Chain A
Amino acid sequence: MAPSTDSNVKDENSQVSYKKDINTKTGRILQNKKHSNDIFDVIEYLQSEKDKEIIFATNACKRVFCQLFYRGDLYVGDLPQEEELMSGDRSAEEKYRIFMRHRYNNCVELLLENMGHEAFQVKEASLCALMKFVEAEGKHPLQNLDLIEHYIFPRELLRTLVEHLLSTEEDMSLLISRFQEFLEMDDVRYYVMSSVRDNIYRVMGRNKKAVIPVYQNNVYTLLSNINVPSQGSKIKHFLVKQAYRPEEWKAGKLKEHKRAFEQMWLLFLKFKLPSSMYKKILVILHESIMPQMSDPTLLIDFLSAAYDIGGAISLLALNGLFILIHKHNLDYPDFYKKLYSLLDPSIFHVKYRARFFHLVNIFLSSTHLPAYLVAAFVKRFARLSLTAPPTALLILLPFICNLIRRHPSCRVLIHRPSAAEEPCDDPYVMEEEDPAQCHALESSLWEIKTLQKHYHPDVAKAAMKINEPLTEQEEEISEVLELSTFELMERDLKAERKTIPLEFDTATELLKSPREVLGVHFSLE
């Protein structure tokens, strides 16, 4: 069956009447097998330059092939080559089916290609069409199923789909979020998970463990969209219904889901990740990944690696580590030592400051910690507070006071009556990594004393508290954890004031005041 020539002719007005053209042709294909060559024209439209034409053609293809699936007009089994088609002695009916199956394969290929199209609508339409095909193939399998245990699912098609979804060149996050709708289906999710695993293995293996940010970002987006249901009884949304022993189907078991989920993530995390990816993963790790895994302790390698990276990533890794230590009896040697070494001026400026302080507060809440350790933390925090912005200081100062309250033996840090009035050097060694060696217990919190002169009244007041014996009651820091500078600003803006003091030296010029600094360095011209 040679492609018809007249269909290749594109006249000018086809642009206007492409809808009509496609509609008539699809109608003819479905009506009569004689017109089956028109399918070429429809498929041709899939490569068109106009987005609208492609979308329309995609929908048309979807309709046509679904109908064909339904009729059973597609060849089932191993597909012979198209060239062999003429030579073989097959019935016309069979030939037609083989022909149509080849066209179907062409169509699927083109649709997969179209998933990399620039226009999102095209991508979306292609994706939907492909998923429709997945569904149709599930109902009307194209393979011969001799093995009775083999559950019917178009794994191959889904695998290629996932492969295209996880592009190495293009950011597919929008399409992936569209794909999320299909991930609601339990069987789709299950098979997607396994295909993702294969895909990661293959792609990363090929790249010899180098970082591929775009690909990893796509994978991350897809993975973060996958949610395993919390209960096995909830697994009942299937794209493809299994007739034969559905209860033994892997896609119907929660355990299998969890296992697939776990394997997928572990494989993904095994490879080196870009640092921004670390942050993203760590942010959601404790909430959406760990609870869905069958054995979260397997994450220990990843977490300790992340913890060793330093900076914000380490801070974030704390959360996961905390859950492992707290819930899964993980023993982490030198945990506090590492935590201690994490503390540097940048902790006050990172986005995850609130989370970090929340965790540190929990870690140091134990009253069984040795005094030297708590003192070391307190002193280090105090030293770092010299560079902190006011919002951080409003967390830090009550936090330090709370630590001293919890550990009365640390009170010497703010009250050392034995050696009063004798000036001495600060014995604390900031550079020392080991909290046991830093002599914090012999020091005093002169830094807090310094902060009593802080420009913000609330900070200064909080720092003043060390002048007198601390009250018994601990201060609640959870409400200041998320405080932003603007909120702090609004406190003063909204406060009612009776009198407003003014500067009594009336200024005459912009750059002329009793304590001019700006005018010394800058001029108006």
Chain B
Amino acid sequence: MMRKQQTFSRGLSDKVRKSKAAPEIQKNPFEVKINRKKFDVLGRKSKHDVGLPGVSRSRAIQKRKDTLLKEFRLKDKNNTFIDRRFGEYDSKLTPEEKILQRFTLERQRTQDRKDMYNLNEEEELTHYGQSLAEMEKMTDVIDSDSDSEEKGLLSAELTATHFGGGGGLLRKKSAGDDEEEEHKPRSRQELIEELIIKSKQEKRERQTQKEEAQELTEKLDQEWKSIQNLLAHKTPKAERTDETDKPKLDQYDMMVRELGFEMKAQPSEKLKSAEELAREERQRLQTLEADRLKRMMGDAEEDAVQTNTHISADDMNDGFILDGDDRKTLAYKDGKWNIEGEEEEKEDEDDDEEGEDDDEDDADEDHCDLQSDEGSEDEDGQGAEEEQVCAEEPPAVSEEQKKAAQEAAKAELPYTFPAPESYSDLKQLLQGHGSEQQRLILDRTLKCNHPSLSAGNKAKLQKLFGFLLEYVGDLATQNPPDLRTVSALIPQICGLCQMFPEAACKAVQTLLSDSGHSMEETLEVKGRAPMPDLDMLVLLKITALLFPSSDFRHPVTTPAFLFLSQALTRCAVVSLEDVCKGLVLCCLALEYVSLSQRIFPELLNFLLGLLHLTVSDKHNMGYTVVSPFRRQGKSCDLLVLKDPNVSHSWNRKPISLQTAHRLPAQSPVERDHYRLSLIDSCLDLVKRCTWLYKDLPSYAHIFQPIRALLLKHLPVEGYPAPIQDLHREILDAIPEKPSQHAPLVFKKKKPIPLKLFTPKIVQILDYGKKRGNTKEEKERERLKHKYKREFKGALREIRKDTRFLAREKLSDVMSRDAERKRKVKELYGSLATQEGEWKALKRKNRK
């Protein structure tokens, strides 16, 4: 205890020693005041544990004496300087504004000058009531600082006051010390004369220097004027008009400003080499792919949340993120790529367009060839290129050729199309043209109505997307389906979709929803629904082309998945067309999951059901087929071959999609070939599925029914060799015994760290304890606190000041009184002595 106190006191004394006050005071224990602490907080440094009240008080008094007292003494006794410059104390004005306003004020003042022809001088400057201009006449160049000396107005009196060092004092003293004064004036006068001579010399030197400089500037001005016309293209006339507007604007200033504002040459972006382009393209695709994978995992949203909540230890909470999540997302803004790959994309598009243009040119040329030489008579006159091409040819025309040309011109497509306002408009626009022409029409429509050309185009094109989908649906359902045209229109549909993702999403969603709803209704009424038509299949395919099916959740593809699922489980398979449609659905389903490798149980069920259709003997099955297939019954042997010998004449070729719409009447052999093609596709799909799902833990269990069917029931002997190969491959791919897996365990949780005695980090505020929650609130509280303290401090200071002043006043009064008392005493004293002397004299006289 004792030791502690000792150390404490030693520390204290150290502190005291360090302070500025004189060492003897510091050492004096009576001067030191120690502030008692309630709690000793480790590590906290306190400034105020030790004080020297005496020292600080005397310092404060001294300070007051220096400032307050002086002010008090001088109160009502001296002048003040008031600055009346414009806006000097206006804190709202920025310095630039201030300068500008002062400038304009000055201009205004000079505006109403009296002397019209005095171009140079706008203001009469005076000095001591005399015009400076007049003075100028006497001396060529005037130096403003030297004019007082120049005039020789220097008087002894003045110098005495200026150089004598406090004239007031001198005069006061003059009464007392007359003798000294007589010595001094002489030496001073000499000194002053010396000074004057010196300064005059200096002045002259300066004057000559200035003259030289002036000459030089004049010369420069003249030279400048001579080349000024060369530099500026503006005619003097224009300048003159300028002058009339703003007569006082200096030309030179204007020039300077002009030069300042002149556009600097921007460094142009260098052309990218092919390699760089390729690299950038690759990078773009990589980022897009990474983004797609992220969405596939479905953790994009969660990530976003995490970045919001997690705060790094180094985070200063100032909103600055060192490596922010600046991955480019696949997004479009106003129909354009929102990423850096934009330009390439555009270029590509341009290329395409160019290619198309080339095509057009070719076509035009073809036309010209056909129409030989009639080009100049092209009455409709669309297409400058065409005219150009054709104009070169000799204008030897017969009447027949003219007519032919007119007809051809009529058949020619116009180059501009209005955007269709309704579905029937679109149909009218496109009907009766070939698929390539339809594509061309659409392409031109899109170009003519690009959103950048007019405000209303955006809405028009958004509607056009819906119409196009409808049109595609119509094309797919007509008899026979016109799928070539559908395929030709795909680029335009894609383009539109990229321009307006929201509108495209809405349109596809509506179609899916309508179709799904009608299917649901039929199911409720009839218990089973027919297979979706070709238009729906095409729509599902287009959906896969437009939207990423690999996303964990997507507003379009997720419902599309469900639609596929519904179609594969609830739609009855009663004919070969249905089988074909089912197979198309399976292909689509497989396409949808091929990237994400997601499991699609309905797909496998359906494939099993399809293969079940090939089995003629439906007994002793080692598997169960589920809806929409039945174990046995009507239309359960749709794929059973009628003639076992057809397999020799079968060869593998793609099935026509049109057969899904309606199977043409065929001979039994052709039908069997068709069946074999379907079986072949079906087996191939199974094979693809085995590739896709081979990493799943339940791979063997999923494929167990298919394996059982293929191994024991499929009449593979009757099939051609390619199918037999396929069959063997699949059986090889599916293991007989399920693979081994480790038992499931929960994911290892991150261990919750033990509670440690780490320092709790608390933000230390300037004033007081922590208050408020938000940043603004805290700041407010801090300021409030600070204000309070400052206010208190100020009050205290003011009180001290008044006390000090009162004390001073009192002491003044006291000293005055004492003086008076002394004087009265003196007087009394002198009177007493006088009286005494007088009395003594009187006594003397009496004697």
Binary per-residue interface labels of chain A (450-489) against chain B in the complex, 1 for a CB within 8 Å, 0 otherwise: 1101111100100000111100000000000000111011
Binary per-residue interface labels of chain B (65-92) against chain A in the complex, 1 for a CB within 8 Å, 0 otherwise: 0000000000000000000000000000
B599–A450 CB distance below 8 A: yes
Q: Which residue of A lies closest to B345 (CB)?
A: A506
Some 28 contacts from A to B, beta carbons below 8 A apart, are: A386-B601, A390-B562, A413-B744, A414-B744, A419-B743, A424-B742, A425-B737, A426-B701, A446-B698, A447-B698, A449-B744, A450-B702, A456-B561, A460-B598, A485-B566, A492-B559, A492-B562, A493-B512, A499-B329, A500-B556, A501-B331, A502-B332, A502-B546, A504-B330, A507-B494, A510-B538, A517-B688, A524-B483
Within 8 A of A (CB), among B692-730: 696-698, 701-702
Inter-chain contacts of A450 with B (CB < 8 A): 599, 696-698, 702
User: A508 at the A/B interface (Cβ < 8 Å)?
Assistant: yes
User: B371 at the A/B interface (Cβ < 8 Å)?
Assistant: no
B741–A446 CB distance below 8 A: yes
CB contact between A490 and one of B501, B513, B556, B570 (< 8 Å): that residue:
B513
User: B502 at the A/B interface (Cβ < 8 Å)?
Assistant: yes
Inter-chain contacts of A516 with B (CB < 8 A): 591
A452 CB, nearest partner CB in chain B, Å: 9
Q: Which residue of A lies closest to B513 (CB)?
A: A493
Within 8 A of A (CB), among B184-240: none
User: A520 at the A/B interface (Cβ < 8 Å)?
Assistant: yes
A521–B605 CB distance below 8 A: no
Number of A residues contacting the other chain (C-beta, 8 Å)? 76
B624–A346 CB distance below 8 A: yes
Within 8 A of A (CB), among B252-287: 285
Binary per-residue interface labels of chain B (120-144) against chain A in the complex, 1 for a CB within 8 Å, 0 otherwise: 0000000000000000000000000
Within 8 A of A (CB), among B583-607: 583-584, 587-588, 590-602, 604-605
Binary per-residue interface labels of chain B (559-594) against chain A in the complex, 1 for a CB within 8 Å, 0 otherwise: 101110110011000000000000110011011111
Interface size on B, as a range, is 35 or more
B565–A389 CB distance below 8 A: yes
User: B498 at the A/B interface (Cβ < 8 Å)?
Assistant: yes
B656–A517 CB distance below 8 A: no
B744–A415 CB distance below 8 A: yes
Q: Which residue of A lies closest to B564 (CB)?
A: A455
B215 CB, nearest partner CB in chain A, Å: 74
B598–A485 CB distance below 8 A: no
Known: A444-B741, A468-B747, A506-B494. A455 touches B596 (CB 8 A): yes
Q: Which residues does B use to contact A, with CB under 8 Å?
A: 285, 288, 291-292, 295, 298, 329-332, 483-484, 486-487, 490-491, 494-495, 497-498, 501-502, 504-505, 509, 512-513, 516-517, 519-520, 527, 538, 541-542, 544-548, 551-556, 558-559, 561-563, 565-566, 569-570, 583-584, 587-588, 590-602, 604-605, 624, 626-627, 654-658, 681, 684-685, 688, 696-698, 701-702, 737-738, 740-747, 749
CB contact between B554 and one of A414, A447, A501 (< 8 Å): that residue:
A501
Alpha-carbon gap, A523 to B608, bound state (A)? 24
Alpha-carbon gap, A224 to B672, bound state (A)? 49
Inter-chain contacts of A453 with B (CB < 8 A): 597-599, 696
Alpha-carbon gap, A518 to B543, bound state (A)? 13
For the complex with contacts A386-B702, A488-B562, A500-B502, 10 further pairs of A-B residues with Cβ separation under 8 Å are A421-B742, A423-B742, A450-B697, A486-B520, A489-B562, A492-B558, A501-B331, A504-B288, A510-B483, A522-B584
Known: A456-B558, A468-B746, A524-B657. A425 touches B298 (CB 8 A): no
User: A367 at the A/B interface (Cβ < 8 Å)?
Assistant: no
Inter-chain contacts of B595 with A (CB < 8 A): 515
Known: A444-B743, A518-B588. A345 touches B548 (CB 8 A): no
Q: Which residue of B lies closest to A344 (CB)?
A: B624
Inter-chain contacts of B566 with A (CB < 8 A): 485-486, 489
Alpha-carbon gap, A217 to B531, bound state (A)? 31
A457–B552 CB distance below 8 A: yes
Inter-chain contacts of B604 with A (CB < 8 A): 387
Known: A454-B598, A509-B487, A510-B487. A424 touches B593 (CB 8 A): no
How many A-B contacts at CB < 8 Å in the complex?
256
Inter-chain contacts of B487 with A (CB < 8 A): 509-511, 524
Alpha-carbon gap, A390 to B559, bound state (A)? 12
B745–A489 CB distance below 8 A: no
Inter-chain contacts of A451 with B (CB < 8 A): 599
B626–A346 CB distance below 8 A: yes
CB contact between A521 and one of B512, B554, B587 (< 8 Å): that residue:
B587
A489–B513 CB distance below 8 A: yes
B618 CB, nearest partner CB in chain A, Å: 16
B698–A386 CB distance below 8 A: yes
User: A420 at the A/B interface (Cβ < 8 Å)?
Assistant: yes
Most B C-beta atoms less than 10 A away, residue of A413, A469, A497? A497
Within 8 A of B (CB), among A370-428: 383, 386-390, 413-417, 419-426
Inter-chain contacts of A520 with B (CB < 8 A): 587, 654, 684
Q: Which residue of A lies closest to B600 (CB)?
A: A455
Alpha-carbon gap, A386 to B513, bound state (A)? 27
User: A209 at the A/B interface (Cβ < 8 Å)?
Assistant: no
User: A513 at the A/B interface (Cβ < 8 Å)?
Assistant: yes
Q: Which residue of A lies closest to B488 (CB)?
A: A509
Q: Which residue of A lies closest to B652 (CB)?
A: A521
Q: Which residue of A lies closest to B338 (CB)?
A: A499
Q: Which residue of A lies closest to B527 (CB)?
A: A351
Inter-chain contacts of B298 with A (CB < 8 A): 457, 460
User: A348 at the A/B interface (Cβ < 8 Å)?
Assistant: yes
Majority SS at the chain B contact face: helix
Q: Which residue of B lies closest to A507 (CB)?
A: B545
Q: Which residue of A lies closest to B605 (CB)?
A: A387
Known: A386-B698, A386-B701, A522-B654. A425 touches B744 (CB 8 A): no
B627–A346 CB distance below 8 A: yes
Q: Which residue of B lies closest to A346 (CB)?
A: B626
Inter-chain contacts of B559 with A (CB < 8 A): 489, 492-493
Known: A453-B597, A510-B490. A389 touches B569 (CB 8 A): yes
Known: A387-B626, A513-B544. A489 touches B554 (CB 8 A): no
Alpha-carbon gap, A408 to B570, bound state (A)? 38
B587–A522 CB distance below 8 A: yes
Inter-chain contacts of A455 with B (CB < 8 A): 561, 592-593, 596, 598-600
Inter-chain contacts of A420 with B (CB < 8 A): 742-743, 745
Inter-chain contacts of A416 with B (CB < 8 A): 743-745
User: A349 at the A/B interface (Cβ < 8 Å)?
Assistant: yes
Q: Which residue of A lies closest to B487 (CB)?
A: A510
A-B pairs, 4 with minimum CB distance: A349-B627, A423-B740, A510-B487, A416-B743
B729 CB, nearest partner CB in chain A, Å: 16
Known: A348-B626, A349-B569, A517-B587. A501 touches B330 (CB 8 A): yes
Inter-chain contacts of A517 with B (CB < 8 A): 587-588, 590-591, 594, 685, 688
Inter-chain contacts of B556 with A (CB < 8 A): 500
CB contact between A523 and one of B546, B598, B655 (< 8 Å): that residue:
B655
Alpha-carbon gap, A510 to B472, bound state (A)? 11
B553–A457 CB distance below 8 A: yes
Alpha-carbon gap, A453 to B298, bound state (A)? 11
Alpha-carbon gap, A351 to B528, bound state (A)? 11
B788 CB, nearest partner CB in chain A, Å: 48
CB contact between A414 and one of B494, B600, B746 (< 8 Å): that residue:
B746
Alpha-carbon gap, A417 to B743, bound state (A)? 8
Most B C-beta atoms less than 10 A away, residue of A454, A467, A517? A517
B746–A515 CB distance below 8 A: no
Inter-chain contacts of B505 with A (CB < 8 A): 497, 500
User: A299 at the A/B interface (Cβ < 8 Å)?
Assistant: no
User: A525 at the A/B interface (Cβ < 8 Å)?
Assistant: yes
B26 CB, nearest partner CB in chain A, Å: 69
CB contact between B745 and one of A415, A454, A456, A525 (< 8 Å): that residue:
A415
Inter-chain contacts of A421 with B (CB < 8 A): 742
Known: A383-B701, A390-B562, A493-B513. A518 touches B495 (CB 8 A): no
Q: Which residue of A lies closest to B702 (CB)?
A: A386
B503 CB, nearest partner CB in chain A, Å: 10
